[in-house]
Structure 1
Amino acid sequence: MLNVLAVEGYRSLRKVVLPLRGLNVVTGANGSGKSSLYRALRLLADSARNGAVAALAREGGLQSTMWAGPAVLGKAVRAGRHPVQGTAPTGPASLKLGFGGDDFGYAMDLGLPVSNGPVAASAFALDPEIKVEAVWAGPVLRPSGVVAQRNGSTVTLRDADGGRHRLTEVLRPFDSMLGELADPRHAPELMQLRERVRSWRFYDHLRTDAAAPARVPRVGTRTVVLAHDGADLAAALQTIREIGDGDVLDAAVDLAFPGSRWEIAAEGGRFELRLRQPGMLRPLTAAELSDGTLRYLLWTAALLTPRPPELVVLNEPETSLHPDLLPALAQLVVGAARRSQVILVSHSRALIAALDRAQADVNTIELVKELGQTTVDGQGMLDEPLWHWPARS
Structure 2
Amino acid sequence: MISTLAISGYRSIRNLVLPLAPLTIVTGANGSGKSSLYRALRLLRDVGSGAAIASLAREGGLQSTMWAGPEQFSREMLAGTQPVQGTLRSGPVALRLGFAGPDDGYAIDLGLPRPSGSRFDRDPEIKAEALWTGEVLDRMSVLVERRGPSARVRRIDDGSWRELTRELSPGDSVVTRCADPGDGLEMLRLRDRMRGWRFYDDLRTDRDAPARLTAVGTFTPRLGSDGGDLAAAIQTIIEIGDADSLADTIADAFSGASIGVDEEFTLHMRQPGLLRPLHVRELSDGTLRYILLAAALLSPRPPELMVLNEPEASLHGDLIEPLARLLRHAARTTQIVVVSHSQALVDALDEGQRITLEKRLGETVTGGSDVMPRWNWPSR
* TM-score class normalised by the smaller sequence: over 0.9
Partner of 2:256: 259
- 1:104 touches 1:193 (CA, 8 Å); kept in 2? no
Letter aligned with residue 36 of structure 1: S
Q: How does 1:282-301 map to 2 (within 5 A)?
A: 282-301=276-295
Give me the whole-angstrom Cα distance separating, in 1, the residues matched to 2:167 and 2:132.
20
Which ranges in structure 2 are unaligned for 5 or more consecutive residues? none
Q: CA deviation at 1:89?
A: 4.7
RMSD between superposed Cα atoms in Å: 1.2
Q: SS state of the match for residue 333, structure 2? A: coil
Q: How does 1:259-338 map to 2 (within 5 A)?
A: 259-266=256-263, 270-338=264-332
Which deviations, in whole Å up to 9, do the C-alpha atoms of 1:167-209 show, x marking residues without a partner? 3423100001101111111121111111111111111101111
| Greater displacement, 216-225 / 229-238 | 216-225
Q: Percent identity?
A: 56
Partner of 2:341: 347
- 2:164 touches 2:178 (CA, 8 Å); kept in 1? no
Q: CA deviation at 1:220?
A: 0.7
Which deviations, in whole Å up to 9, do the C-alpha atoms of 1:44-75 show, x marking residues without a partner? 11111111111111000001100101122111
Which deviations, in whole Å up to 9, do the C-alpha atoms of 1:117-174 show, x marking residues without a partner? xxx1321111000000000011100111111000000001112322111234231000
- Size of the aligned set, in residue pairs, is 379
Letter aligned with residue 358 of structure 2: V
Partner of 2:368: 378
Letter aligned with residue 366 of structure 1: T
Which deviations, in whole Å up to 9, do the C-alpha atoms of 1:90-110 show, x marking residues without a partner? 542211100111111000000
Which deviations, in whole Å up to 9, do the C-alpha atoms of 1:286-315 show, x marking residues without a partner? 101110000000011000000011111110
Q: Which of residues 132, 152, 167 in structure 1 aligns to 2:164? A: 167
Q: Which of residues 149, 161, 174 in structure 1 aligns to 2:145? A: 149
Letter aligned with residue 378 of structure 1: G
| Greater displacement, 162-171 / 242-251 | 162-171
Q: Which of residues 131, 137, 157 in structure 1 aligns to 2:133? A: 137
Give me the whole-angstrom Cα distance separating, in 1, the residues matched to 2:291 and 2:154.
47
Give me the whole-angstrom Cα distance separating, in 2, the residues matched to 1:88 and 1:158.
37
| Greater displacement, 213-222 / 299-308 | 213-222
Letter aligned with residue 316 of structure 2: H
Which ranges in structure 1 are unaligned for 5 or more consecutive residues? none
Partner of 2:359: 369
- Please report the TM-score for the alignment, with normalisation by the length of structure 1: 0.94
Give me the whole-angstrom Cα distance separating, in 1, the residues matched to 2:47 and 2:331.
25
Q: Which of residues 221, 226, 236 in structure 1 aligns to 2:233? A: 236
Q: CA deviation at 1:262?
A: 1.1
- 1:11 touches 1:68 (CA, 8 Å); kept in 2? yes
Q: SS state of the match for residue 295, structure 1? A: helix
